[in-house]
Amino acid sequence: MQPFPWLDVVIILALILLNGFFAMSEMAIVSSRRPRLRGLATSGHRGARTALELAENPGSFLSSVQIGITLVGIVNGAYSGATLALPVGQRLSAWFGFKPALAEEVGFAVVIVITTYLSLIIGELVPKQFALRSPEKLAAFVAPIMAVVSRIATPAVWALDRSSALVFKLLGQVRDGDNRVTEEELRSVVQEAETAGVIEESERQMISGIMRLADRRVRGVMTPRGDVDWIDADMDDAAIRAHLAASPHTRLPVARGTVDDIIGVLQARDVVQALIEGRSLDLSALARPAPVIPDMIDAVDALAVLRDAEIPIALVHDEYGHFEGIVTPADLLAAIAGEFRSDVDDANDPPAVERDDGSWLFSGALPADEMADRLGFDLPEARDYETVAGFVLEHFRHLPETGESFILKRWKFEIADMDGRKVDKVLALPVRTAVTPVL
C-alpha cells in the first residue's frame, strides 16, 4: 500500500479555495452599489476605481470569472480522481475487504463526492455569502487581482463575449439591461434605512416629501386664490394700518379692487421704512413686481423662479391668464416638511388623522399624493387633480353631497363634510375583501 498523498490533498484544497476566490469576487463586484464604490473611489481608494471599471464592463469581467471557475473545476475534478482514487481504494480494500477493482471504483466515487461537497461549501456558498456581507469593501480589495486575470484571459474573453452577443442577437434580446434606479426602488431603500435605524422617521418623511415635490406641479403646492391674503391699493391709511396689524404675513399681494388685478407685492419692512421717514402709505408706489408663472410648471421650476425673484412670491396664472394663487418658499417647505402650526388656521384640525379603527379622515385640501402614500397605493402619473378634493371629484364626476361614497384600491372613500361647494373632509375606510370599484 502506497503512502497517502497528503500533498495532493493540499493542492486540491488550494484549487477549491481558488474557486471560492473567483466566486466571491464575482458576487462582490456584481452586488456592489455604484454610489458606495464611487464614494470609496473619491476618497482615494484605487481598488474601488478598478471595481467600478469592472462593473461597468460586466461582459468581460464575468467571462474572465467563468473561465477561471470552469478551468479550476475541470482541473480539480481530474486531478483529484487521478491522484486520490487509487490510495483511497487501497484503504477501502484493506479496511472493508473490497476487491481491488471494485475498491478503486468506490474510491473514485468517494473522492468525487467529497471534492464536490467541499467545492460547493468552500468554493461557492460560503464565499458568496461572505461577499454579500460587505460587497463594496471586498470588491475594492479583489478588483486589482481580477483586473489582471481579465487581461491575461483577454483572447478567451473576446471569443466568449462575441459568442454570447451572437446568442442574444439570435434570441432577439438586448444584453445591456435597464439598470436605472426607479423611484419605487429609491422609496424602498429609504424605508429599509428607516427600519434598520440608519435614518429617523422624520428624515424619511422629509426625503419622501422632496421626492413628492419633484413630481408635483405648482398648482399642487400654491396657496389658492380663495386663501390669498391681499390688500387693496385704494385703501386709506387707517384701513391699511388695520389690515397690516391683523395680517400674520410680512408680504402681501397688492391689488386694485379685486384679487384678479394684482399690481405687485408689499413688504412689511417697506411700510415700516415709509412710516419712519414720515411718507404716506402709497401702496402702488411701495408694491414691488412679482414674477408670474403658469400653474402647470413643476414645483421645482417654481423654486428656481423664487430664488431669482426680487421678492420670493410668484403669482400663479392658468392657461387663460386668470389668477389662481400664489406660491412662496413657505409653500414649498410645507410640501416637504409638512404644515407649520402658525400657517394652519385651526391647529386642532390636522389635514390627516388616523382613527382607531384604521380609517383616515383627510382634509380636502391635502395633496392627493400624501393621501395615497398614507393609504399605500399609487396615483396615475397623468392626472388632472392635485388635492384629495380633486381626487374624489375625478371619481364622482359631479359635485357630491355629504355621505356619497365610492370604493377604490381596497378603500371606501366617503364625503364626510361639504363646505358649500367645496369638499372639506373625506373619510377613507379600509375594505377587508376585494371588490370591484364602484363609481
| Tens-binned pLDDT, residue by residue, of the chain (439 aa) | 557 677 878 888 888 888 888 888 888 888 887 777 777 777 777 788 888 778 777 767 777 888 888 888 888 778 777 777 777 777 767 676 677 777 777 777 888 888 888 888 888 888 888 888 888 888 888 888 888 887 887 787 778 777 877 887 888 776 655 556 666 667 777 777 777 777 787 787 788 778 777 778 888 888 888 889 999 998 888 898 899 889 888 899 999 989 889 999 999 889 889 888 888 888 988 999 999 999 888 888 998 999 998 889 999 998 888 999 999 998 888 888 776 665 555 545 788 888 888 899 999 888 888 888 889 888 887 788 888 999 999 999 899 999 999 998 889 999 999 988 889 999 999 987 444 444 4
Helices (runs of H) and strands (runs of E) counted in the chain: 17, 12
How far is Cα 423 from Cα 414, in angstroms, rounded to an integer? 11
Question: How far does CA 376 lie from the centroid of its chain?
Answer: 15
User: Going along 155-313, which residue ranges are E strands?
Assistant: 223-224, 231-232, 251-255, 262-267, 292-294
3-state SS of 361-386? Answer: EEECCCEHHHHHHHHCCCCCCCCCCC
Question: Do 86 and 107 meet the contact criterion of CB atoms below 8 Å apart?
Answer: yes
b or e along 132-156 (b: 16 or more beta carbons within 10 Å of the residue's beta carbon)? Answer: eeebbbbbbbbbeebbebbeebeee
φ/ψ of 325, rounded to 5, equals 160, -170
Given 3-state DSSP classes, what are the helix, strand and coil percentages for the chain, each rounded to the nearest 5? 55, 15, 30
40-45-51 Cα angle (round to 5): 75
C-alpha cell at 7: 500533498
How far is Cα 35 from Cα 20, in angstroms, rounded to an integer? 26
Residues 6+ apart with CB under 8 A from 3: none
How far is Cα 231 from Cα 243, in angstroms, rounded to an integer? 7
Residues 6+ apart with CB under 8 A from 250: 267, 268, 269
Length in residues, the chain: 439
Task: Please tell me whether residue 270 adopts helix, strand or coil conformation.
Answer: helix
C-alpha cell at 179: 439598470
Tell me whether strands 360-363 and 422-430 are parallel, antiparallel or unpaired.
Answer: antiparallel
How far is Cα 327 from Cα 340, in angstroms, rounded to an integer? 16
C-alpha cell at 424: 372639506
pLDDT value for 77: 79
